[in-house]
A = this chain, B = another copy of it.
């Protein structure tokens, strides 16, 4: 399949696929004799994994960090258990868990910041209700 079909199958656009490839989230795909990118189902599964991680709020950098282990997220697309097992000694065994931890911390900080901002704004506007 060509880039348009692969993008549609993964729920995104050709431009995004070229962008992921350029940033190292996807391996360079096969090319036809005329130079057009050729994708197969394995590629589509990878693309979906990338999309899902980005959709979870990870950055391009984060995902590139464990791009080489992306298949751990996509084995038969049915991982019952956690795809990123934490090391028993407490250290980050994979760059994935480290990135996720960083993202979680960043999200918590941002939620906290916005919540305080909301409260201040509500208070300045004459005492808004909580929640």
Q: What's the dominant secondary structure at chain A's contact region?
A: helix
A115 CB within 8 Å of chain B: yes
Chain A interface residue bracket vs B: 20 to 34
| Chain A residues within CB distance 8 Å of chain B | 56-58, 81-86, 97, 100-101, 103-104, 107-108, 110-111, 114-115, 117-118, 120-122, 124-128
Contact for A118 among B58, B108, B115, B121, CB less than 8 A:
B108
**Copy total for this chain:** 2
Q: How far is the CA of A83 from the CA of B125 in the complex (A)?
A: 7
Q: Which B residues are in CB contact (< 8 Å) with A118? A: 57, 104, 107-108, 111
| Contact (Cβ within 8 A) A125 B57 | no
Distance to closest chain B CB from A124 (angstroms): 6
Q: Which B residues are in CB contact (< 8 Å) with A128? A: 104
